[in-house]
A = this chain, B = another copy of it.
């Protein structure tokens, strides 16, 4: 369970008087902040809005964070780290690089479908964080892209991917195709997250392993 912005309780007495355990309250606070940032935008959400929905006094929120920005930081960091953990684990499994890429794509799509609101906040509000805090939340630049790209490069080295494929462009194409799910996936809709993940993986893998059957020839690069 995530900890509040790496700080200790500001008022140890308050902790004893709360009805719910501190970590449960923190998880609720993060969930409500995620929902409100999604519904009203980060700029349109006040700490008072968050306190009201939680049924807390606004002053009590300062027990967990110092500012609204701390909440956005935690929302962004949590969904990013969870997603990275999913794709890193899948990437490290046994199998040839294309099989692992397929599993990474499926895992990423399933994670996105199950974290739609947090993913939307991440994608829409990431740039609201000051650069320093963005780096703190995400670590190295392009780590996500790097997992996809690394597998494509390995597959290309093994002759599984066409030699004219640009691994960076292919990784960005796959990231776009899979991240986009956050805009159209509907829980309980006509496809399950597993079916969407498998279907997008088929299309993505086919797009880099095969030659186009029609249309203009590929550009000389």
Contacts and interface: CB of A to CB of B under 8 A. Distances in A.
Contacts of A219: 195, 198-199, 202
A19 B208 CA distance: 56
Q: How large is the interface on A (under 10, 10 to 19, 20 to 34, 35 or more residues)?
A: 35 or more
Interface string A204-221: 111111111111101101
A218 to B, nearest CB: 5
Interface stretch (A69-77, A130-138, A165-173): A165-173
Contact of A102 (B174, B175, B210, B215): B215
Interface in A82-111: 96, 98-99, 101-102
Contacts of A173: 177, 180, 199-200, 203-204
A212 B216 contact: no
A147 interface: no
A128 interface: yes
Nearest to A190: B168
A42 interface: yes
Contacts of A180: 172-173, 175-177, 179-180
Nearest to A213: B209
A215 B210 contact: no
Contacts of A177: 173-174, 176-177, 180
Nearest to A42: B41
A-B pairs with the 5 shortest C-beta distances?
A176-B180, A210-B210, A207-B207, A43-B44, A98-B214
